[in-house]
Structure 1
């Protein structure tokens, strides 16, 4: 199992995350909450689209979540997603991705957060942080600026879908 995360560094005063945090509502919908953050929709709406359009079970069991369903849901709101890729450190992550943290290689289970790298303008440094949808984490860890002790084991890159011809 992954090591325990270090204390989170609070965002600087005036810092505005790229996405509004959406809290997950149970132990299994972290990935839906991450999609809700990216597409700027309520979690209930994202879940309903998964049920109505992509045959996600309304009341469980919830074993069919995979990168294909994540990609289909994101495409519904004009985003494209990669497959899960093993992470090789923070520098290797795309600017926006759904990351798997607290990953256990024996069970192949982890939970999802959003990683964001906001590029600094005109020589300013990049800002890298995670938005954590877990309802059990304290508020000061909802947006984590110090992510060195919070390893992302796997990730799915997310980008806006480009219109044809562009």
Structure 2
């Protein structure tokens, strides 16, 4: 299994988050960093797949288009909504989503609602792949980004079970 090297976790949680932060490497690849977090791949690997699928230079200055995001998730056996939806409150969000924080260039963050087996209440957080201070890389105050546009994400097998 191709597992990217990880630096020591620096998150504010008293639990281990399901998804670990992958930092974006330039201002155009926050969505690629979020996809790398979900797929547990390196940003370089996801960037090369994106370049191949979009027929763009591997090291170019380009953003992943809205159409390419679901194709990249599909490549890693994940499903992403094919259109943006709007959430006015945290409860409107699915358990896993790619949230559009700003445009020009597109800046995405990964939203996750982590549930626990021991009866603890779920915890919602954002993983911000941008070059920000350590204390802003994992954000617990999800309400601060509401309302927002998002793409829902789930495993392809979870998505397809509704069709069988």
TM bucket by the smaller chain? 0.7 to 0.9
More helix by proportion, 1 or 2?
2
Distance 1:162 1:37, change over 3 A: same
Could you tell me which runs of 5 or more consecutive residues in structure 1 were left unpaired when the two chains were aligned.
1-9
Is the Cα–Cα contact under 8 Å of residues 99 and 152 in structure 1 kept in the other structure?
no
Q: Distance in 1 between matches of 2:34 and 2:147?
A: 14
Distance 1:56 1:160, change over 3 A: farther
Q: Distance in 2 between matches of 1:128 and 1:95?
A: 8
**1:114 aligned residue (106, 110, 114):** 110
Aligned residue for 1:67?
66
Q: Distance in 1 between matches of 2:79 and 2:48?
A: 20
- Report the count of equivalent residues: 150
Q: TM-score, normalised on structure 2?
A: 0.80
Q: What root-mean-square deviation, in Å, do the aligned CA atoms of Structure 1 and Structure 2 show?
A: 2.2
Aligned residue for 1:5?
none
The CA deviation at 1:148 is: 2.1
Aligned residue for 1:144?
139
Could you tell me which runs of 5 or more consecutive residues in structure 2 were left unpaired when the two chains were aligned.
1-10
**1:154 aligned residue (149, 153, 159):** 149
